[in-house]
Structure 1
Amino acid sequence: MIKIHREGYTILFVTLVILFVLNALIHWITDVVWIRNVFIIASLIVYGLVLQFFRNPQRNIVRDENKIIAPADGKVVIIEEVEEPEYFKGKRLQISIFMSPLNVHVNRYPVSGRIEYARHHQGQYLVAWHPKSSTLNERTSVVINSPVWGPVLYRQIAGYVARRIVMYAKEGTIARQGDESGFIKFGSRLDIFLPPGTVPRVKLGDKTVGGITIIAEKKTN
């Protein structure tokens, strides 16, 4: 049985009502059976696509403070050292995960710790892979102070299609690695900013599973 995320309840209900009304109108307008059937089939396909956008599969999350886990399902599109201007104002290793409309859209905390910073910024809606989308698009920035890694920033970024970011993080609360941190409706991108010198466990093009895939690990003696 498919588990649906709570962020999809309203959209799924509204979509169902709209599709029901459209099909009722078609049945009232025409008696041609094949036209009616085409609209029914098209409606089922549309509703199935919207339904899969909001699926929320159960994940067997194993918490480990020495590891950074992927905050989202998707594809690794950026691994590079950059200047992070909003919070750190210095060098950080950026790892970015692109979420397509076919991915699970639930976002998760990559580490555990106290949430020191949580901001939602209005902005543009450039395509998620645009180099400036991280600073110009609508986005959220959350900094978790990990007892092992120190402050770790992750950023939800809206894209051309994704126009709705949901952030659950609140300053002063405790984040638990793997717990839900938010939702981006219909895809987009997650950026993670790690301490300089961090060695990633993923490479460009790798597919990630939110809450499961290890993207960095601190070696212990």
Structure 2
Amino acid sequence: MTIHKEGYQILFWTAFILLAVNVLSVFYLFTGNQTASTLILIVSVVLFFLVLQFFRKPRRTTPLNDKHVISPCDGTVVVIEEVNEPEYFKEARRQVSIFMSPLNVHINFHPITGTVKYVKYYPGKYLVAWHPKSSTENERTSVVIQAKNGAEILLRQIAGALARRIVWYAKEGQPVEQGHELGFIKFGSRVDLFLPLDAEVKVKIGEKTKGGVTVVADL
């Protein structure tokens, strides 16, 4: 397991700030108070490793299958329902939503192999990721991929109350491969999938998913 490139800058500044806090605590704020300085050091180390684990990049092997829709992220399935998707399809779709806690790996993966047909970024609010309106009012990015059989799915990256930056690598017209990186969401968030109504959903509410591995549905 390595560290994702999206974490380099944040980890550098986190380490710099924590080091500065510890230097100030030892030489200025708590001079002669070994207990206070040691406590600050322990808290700093714990905090740094919490941030470090958030940007971990595990090695994953995706079982390629053109019929499978692979989970785009690590997390917990919180929504499976039929909805009207107004942005791109403008018709009924099967929605599967996966909530990503701050402890999950936050890399996003392409769920299918195909061609990117649509990419759109929306600035917005930062409601908690499980709020019903977060899918339409929060900062978000929508990516539509057309599979080899012509079926299209929409993947929506949604920022949460803590997530303040969405990163996406997909571009319109770009060929993509199942299991390859689509992007990254920094700190607590969710991903929505909008599937054809005839897609056979393979997961259940409350089920844990592993990005790039778990089969969410069959097309």
Q: What's the TM-score, normalizing by structure 2?
A: 0.97
**What is the root-mean-square deviation of aligned Cα atoms in Å?**
0.8
Q: Mind listing any 5+ residue stretches in structure 1 that lack a counterpart?
A: none
- Post-superposition Cα deviations, 1:85-144, rounded to whole Å, max 9, x if no partner, equal 000000000000000000000000000111000011111111111111101100000000
Residue equivalent to 1:189:
190
Identity of aligned residues (%): 54
| Letter paired with 1:200 | V
| Matched position secondary structure for 2:201 | coil
8 Å contact 2:161–2:188 — kept in the other structure? Answer: no
How much has 1:47 moved relative to structure 2? Answer: 0.1
Q: Secondary structure at the match of 1:50?
A: helix
> What is the distance in 2 between the residues matched to 1:146 and 1:101?
31
Shift of 1:61: 1.2
Which amino acid in 2 is paired with 1:26? S
Segments of structure 2 that go 5 or more residues without pairing to the other structure are none
Give the aligned partner of residue 123 of structure 1: 124
Equivalent position of 1:5 in the other structure: 4
Whole-angstrom CA distance in 2 between matches of 1:73 and 1:98: 8
User: Which residue of 2 is the match for residue 27 of structure 1?
Assistant: 26
Structure 1 residue aligned with 2:46: 45
Q: Counterparts of 1:87-98 in structure 2 under 5 Å?
A: 87-98=88-99
Provide the secondary structure at the position in 1 that maps to 2:116.
Answer: strand
CA–CA separation in structure 2 for the residues paired with 1:8 and 1:36: 27
Q: Name the CA distance, whole Å, in 2 between partners of 1:197 and 1:132.
A: 25
Asked whether the 8 Å contact 1:149–1:195 carries over to 2, the reply is no
Whether the 8 Å CA contact 1:79–1:96 is kept in 2: the answer is yes
| Secondary structure in 2 matching 1:79 | strand
Mapped partners of 2:89, 2:114: distance in 1: 17
For the residues of structure 2 that align with 1:149 and 1:163, how far apart are their CA atoms?
34
Tell whether the 8 Å contact from 2:114 to 2:176 is kept in structure 1 after alignment.
Answer: yes
CA distance in 2, matches of 1:147, 1:187: 32
Evaluate the alpha carbon distance shift between residue 149 and residue 195 of structure 1 in structure 2; reply closer, same or farther with a 3 A threshold. farther
Higher mean Cα deviation, 100-109 or 58-67?
58-67
Counterpart of 2:203 in structure 1 is 202
In structure 1, what is the equivalent of residue 162 of structure 2? 161
CA displacement at 1:199 relative to structure 2? 1.8
Inter-CA distance 216–149: structure 2 relative to 1 (3 Å threshold): farther
Shift, 1:149, TM fit: 5.6
Question: Aligned equivalents of 1:44 and 1:148: distance in 2?
Answer: 50
Aligned residues: 217
Is residue 16 from structure 1 mapped to residue 15 from structure 2 by the alignment?
yes
Distance in 2 of aligned mates of 1:192 and 1:112? 15
Which amino acid in the other structure matches residue 5 of structure 2?
A: R
Q: Which moved more, 1:85-94 or 1:32-41?
A: 32-41
Which amino acid in 1 is paired with 2:17?
Answer: I
SS of the residue aligned with 1:20?
Answer: helix
Structure 1 126/70 Cα, relative in aligned 2: closer, same or farther at 3 Å? same
Task: Determine helix, strand or coil for the equivalent of 2:2.
Answer: coil
The answer to whether the 8 A contact 2:76-2:98 is kept is: yes
Secondary structure at the aligned position of 1:93 is classed as strand
* Letter matched to residue 40 of structure 1: L
Give the 3-state SS of the residue equivalent to 2:46 in structure 1.
Answer: helix
In the alignment, residue 105 of structure 1 is paired with which amino acid?
A: H
Work out the CA distance in 2 between the residues paired with 1:178 and 1:187: 21
